[in-house]
Amino acid sequence: MPHDVTMPQLGMAQDAGKIVAWLKKPGERVVAGEALFEVETDKATMEVEAQAAGFLTEVRAAEGEDVPVGRVIARISETPQEAASASAAPVVSATGPGSSGPIPEGRAVTMPQLGMAQDTGIVVAWHVAPGDKVAEGDVLFEVETDKATMEVPASAAGYVAALLAGEGEEVPVGETVAILSDRMPDAPMRRTRAEAGGTPLVVQPAAPAPAAPAPAAAPPATAPAIVRPAPTVLPASAPQGRILASPKARRLALERGIDMARLVASGVSQPVHARDVEAFIAPASAPASHRLAAGTLRDGFTPFATWAAETAGITDATALLAGFAAASLRAAMPATGPLCIAVTGRGADRVYPDPDDRLGRTDPAASPMLPALILRDLRGSRITAIEMGTDRAPVLMVGGRGDALTVTLVWADGQLLADAALALVDGFAGRLEEPLRHLLL
């Protein structure tokens, strides 16, 4: 079945597009999903994909030409020789229930694709009636998609031989909705898709003129219905139906042999863009993470925290630990301004804004703040080793059971310089081992 290629609507306010370049030449084979041409709007330049397989014929818009949205600019035909002419105009016959016989001969008007991810359109209103004479560019009908409502013009002059979809009916993109004839039809008709049982029309070429040479092989008595490729069988978890994707994404997936349904099943949201396909091919690498560990000869912090509680009334050991970390970070990075330390573990999940007091006389922040350092207190836990990815800030972990403690720092490129990381780990481990060092430095 020949498929009309129309100027798509690539933006809600777009009423025309400029043909930048045809990516296929007339007569070349076209694969569904393949990039067909480039169109430029006031917003961007996009590649438009072919919606059907066949051969590119009847190219009606040249490169550099501005074309209204919805106007037919080419056709994808079954053979490369098929062209528009009075003798070769498509004859449409209705085969679904409710048809009242053959539909008048003429040029098929199909439901245009007005959006990149559009599958169907709703006929809002017809502006013509059967038997009306129309000129090229006259409005035939209004179509509504999930993005906008647009007027569809006639791509050529003629007479309305048939209207084949009712107002309010939803029609798949590429399906015939009307027939335009070069002469006044003897019996113009109007019919809805519901009256035809929703069966798509079968379009077949007209019989050759008597003077035309006989073909090498006699054609069958009746043209067979178009056989569409069987859909690929996917696992039960794969999404069913058409995948919403940009033309560039479809072309890239086609080139790399990627099943779009499996890509969506992996978690990629629709509509799929080219960057999603590229990420699926070669996932973007996360920033490189680094790990630095140290140990203490003894646990000097626990008795120091007990002394601070009994002598100075400092009962928040978490705040005291945050003070140790802040002092170590500030010593490693002298030019650093106010610091915010987030502490997690041992039943605590608090953020301390700039705990500069050496004895931890700092209250937790009342509202969320972006920390300069995340401190995980794993003391007393059964965790003996840890390997974690990078976080929104460098992560300093303290653990261990018994007389010794371990200190581990994990950071990403751009968060800390190597020298600062070394100084931070060494300084923090030293303070945990000898708390007096914390008070005197």
Per-residue pLDDT of the chain (441 residues; tens, 9 = 90+): 678 888 887 665 566 788 988 999 888 999 888 888 988 877 777 888 888 889 999 888 888 888 887 788 888 888 877 654 433 334 444 433 334 557 788 888 888 876 656 678 888 889 999 999 999 888 899 888 766 677 888 878 899 999 999 888 888 877 888 999 988 888 888 988 887 765 555 444 334 444 445 445 444 444 444 343 343 333 434 455 567 766 677 777 777 777 777 777 777 777 777 777 777 766 544 566 788 999 898 899 989 989 888 887 888 888 888 888 888 888 888 766 667 888 887 666 788 877 655 565 566 655 556 788 888 888 877 776 666 655 678 899 998 867 889 999 998 877 888 899 999 999 999 999 998 877 766
Task: Locate 328 and state its tokens.
Answer: 């170590």
CA-CA distance, 163 to 130, in Å (whole number)?
Answer: 7
Contacts of 427 (CB under 8 A, 6+ apart): 327, 328, 331, 332
What CATH number was assigned to the domain covering residues 1-82?
2.40.50.100
Q: What architecture is the 85-205 domain classified under in CATH?
A: Beta Barrel (2.40)
Superfamily of domain 289-440: Chloramphenicol acetyltransferase-like domain (3.30.559.10)
CA-CA distance, 255 to 239, in Å (whole number)?
Answer: 21
Model pTM score: 0.37
To the nearest 10 degrees (0 to 180), the angle between helices 301-311 and 317-332 is 120
CA-CA distance, 126 to 289, in Å (whole number)?
Answer: 63
Can you list the alpha helix ranges (DSSP code H) found in 247-373? 247-256, 260-265, 274-281, 301-311, 317-332
CA-CA distance, 436 to 271, in Å (whole number)?
Answer: 61
Task: Locate 296 and state its tokens.
Answer: 């203490």
CA-CA distance, 54 to 205, in Å (whole number)?
Answer: 15
Cα angle for residues 291, 416, 436 (degrees, 5° grid): 80
A 10 A CB-CB count for 335 gives 5
A 10 A CB-CB count for 47 gives 21
End-to-end CA distance of the chain: 85
What Å distances lie between residue 268 and 242, 276, 283, CA to CA?
15, 7, 12
CA-CA distance, 17 to 69, in Å (whole number)?
Answer: 7
pLDDT at site 403: 82
pLDDT at site 69: 76
Locate the domains of the chain by residue range. 1-82, 85-205, 247-281, 289-440
β-bridge mates for residue 22, sequence order: 37
Please check whether residue 17 is in contact with residue 40, taking contact to mean a CB–CB distance below 8 angstroms: yes
Question: Shortest CA distance to 122 belongs to which of 154, 146, 98?
Answer: 146
Please check whether residue 435 is in contact with residue 300, taking contact to mean a CB–CB distance below 8 angstroms: yes
Question: Shortest CA distance to 276 belongs to which of 252, 294, 293?
Answer: 252
pLDDT at site 357: 56
Cα angle for residues 33, 35, 39 (degrees, 5° grid): 125
Please check whether residue 156 is in contact with residue 209, taking contact to mean a CB–CB distance below 8 angstroms: no
Question: Shortest CA distance to 309 belongs to which of 369, 359, 377, 266?
Answer: 359
Contacts of 236 (CB under 8 A, 6+ apart): none
pLDDT at site 208: 40
CATH topology agreement for domains 1-82 and 85-205: yes
Contacts of 213 (CB under 8 A, 6+ apart): none
